[in-house]
Structure 1
Amino acid sequence: MWGVLSASLFFLPFNRLIALVVLAAAAGMGVYHHILTPVSLACLGVIAIAAWLHQLYHHQRAVSLALELFLVACSIALFYHLIPGFNNPVMVDQEKVGPLSSLYSMYYNFDKALVPFLLIVCLPTLFNAGQPDKKVGASAWVLLVLCIPAVLMLAVALGGLKVEMHLPPWILAFIMANLFFVSMAEEALFRGYLQQRLRQWLGPYPALIITALLFGAAHLAGGMLMVAFATLAGVIYGLAWMWSGRLWVPIVFHFGLNLTHLLFFTYPLYQHP
């Protein structure tokens, strides 16, 4: 089922019809496996009607804006698991990846995976914003890539992480979940939608900074050090979006940082003895 859900997200940037058909198949499997309940299906039905009305009345500014705000609010609710009726299964339950790492749990989140589907209704340019805000050369991209290990080593210097290599048995499950249900969902919300909308209203650099700060605040549950590192990471992802105009680029950066973190550093944090 989760591979089918991942496939629906893979097709979403290229062919919405195929993505929706595959998503419907994943939803059917979700009902069969009791991941989706009648309560969540009723909530999703209301959201689907709002998405249809948004498409139907997109020329009527006031109605379209009201429906967009509703869909964005639903996206945030799905992102934070606030909509009831989703039985997201735990795949890793309170395990230590290594002796210095803190306890870690991983869920497969059906609700969070739906966020890009809602946001592309609100903003058809979610995955492709057209011309980038700033054209840069290869050297700038190399520096941006090097910022990923630099941020992680900064976390080591400040005591939030330690170098610790891992290859957990659930690495393939992590790769699928983190790429589609975490990195893609988070980048769709923060870079694809929020940064793109804020750029339209405030300009590219205020949009970059505000979105990075909001991204950092979204990690408040991990403590202030996590907020600071997430904010720095948000700047990296935001620049990747600014310089490319394509959402897949910050998704790759985001996934690359998370995978590097898991493979070579204490995950998710350093557990003090």
Structure 2
Amino acid sequence: MLLGALLAIYSYTGHTNIAWLLLLVVLNGVVSISSFSVPIRYIVLSLSILIGLYLQIEKLNILPNIIWLENVKTATHAPFFNIGLNGDKLFMALAYLPLLPMIRLHPRQVSAAGLIFITFIYLMVTSSILVTAGLFFDYIRFDFTLPTFIPIWAFNMLIVCAYEEVFFRGVLQNALMKCLPRYSWVAILVASILFGYAHHQMGWTMVGLSAISGVFYGSLYRLSRTLWCPVILHFATNSIHFLFFSYPRLGA
């Protein structure tokens, strides 16, 4: 209700695309109401996910973005970039949070130490493959740096990783796995491809690298049954990129 009220107020500024976010709130509200039959709730959830995908991929910038720093640079071979949060994606993550208990996988009984170990192994494999591919396609270059704005970047990136994992793993992949219980890897692959394509504005190399990373995030989520693991893996992978290589890519 609070999100809907905020959107209604913001709609007076003349943003016609605000209807997409309003519709998302309404659909998620219907899904969360237990009085509706299960088939109806899943049909509405499917519509909600399709709208979420559209907003993730098109980047309409309906809500204002939160920009902490503008035109910063990590190292010699890196381009300038902004550090900030996408207002639409942040809003969508908050809108989908109430639905996670309904569509999440049954948790596994794994100790915290076990989850940390599994995530570390995944980090070693994921980062090795991505670094090799990035160097091969001349997308990144070794460029170790410790910029003064690391705390701001880390805080921002943790939120970015969280809201991306909430949608692509917590909502999309979970919903696909519910529909395809015997073909969970198909669900992981589809969610990963769409996750990669959501980065298309950064070029096709980034799409491919993101899709590959999505496979590891998704498989770790399937194994651990907790979103914390893919969020941490996502954040750690991006941190290695940020600290040791040209970020976000090799400059022109």
| TM-score clears 0.5 | yes
Determine whether 1:215 maps to 2:191. no
RMSD, aligned CA: 3.6
User: Which whole-Å CA distance do the structure 1 matches of 2:100 and 2:154 have between them?
Assistant: 27
Structure 1 residue 177: Cα displacement: 1.7
Task: Give the corresponding residue for 1:167.
Answer: 146
Unaligned runs of 5+ in 1: 1-19
Match of 2:166 among 178, 181, 188: 188
Q: Using the alignment, how far apart are the partners of 1:211 and 1:120 within structure 2?
A: 18
Tell me the TM-score normalized by structure 1: 0.73
Separation in 1, partners of 2:230, 2:137 = 25
**Separation in structure 2 between the aligned mates of residue 140 and residue 172 of structure 1, nearest angstrom:** 26
Query: Compared with structure 1, are the counterparts of its residues 100 and 138 closer, same or farther at alpha carbon in structure 2 (3 Å cutoff)?
Result: closer
Give the count of matched residue pairs: 245
- Amino acid in the other structure paired with 1:72: I
Detail structure 1 runs of 4+ shifted over 6 Å in the superposition.
40-43, 136-139
Structure 2 unaligned regions, length at least 5:
109-113
Partner of 1:179: 158
**Which whole-Å CA distance do the structure 2 matches of 1:153 and 1:171 have between them?**
21
Separation of aligned partners in 2, 1:146 and 1:58: 46
Range that drifts further, 158-167 or 248-257: 158-167
- One-letter amino acid matched to 2:235: F
Aligned to 2:63: 86
1:99 maps to 2:79? no
Residues in 1 aligned to 2:149 and 2:227: alpha-carbon distance in whole angstroms:
27
Structure 2 CA distance for aligned equivalents of residues 100 and 252 of structure 1? 27
Give the % identical residues. Answer: 22
Partners of 1:229 and 1:263 in 2: how far apart? 18
Q: Which residue of 1 aligns with 2:46?
A: 69
C-alpha change, 1:268 and 1:58, in structure 2 (3 Å) is: farther
1:81–1:111 CA contact under 8 A, matched in 2: no
2:32 aligned partner, one-letter code? Q
Q: Which stretch of the first structure deviates more once superposed, 51-60 or 197-206?
A: 51-60
Q: How far, CA to CA, are the matches of 2:35 and 2:125 in structure 1? A: 40
Distance 1:262 1:92, change over 3 A: same
Q: Is the 8 A contact 2:57 2:197 kept in 1?
A: no
Q: State the match for 1:226 in structure 2.
A: 206
242-251 or 43-52: bigger deviation: 43-52
Contact 1:195 1:207 in 2 (8 A): yes
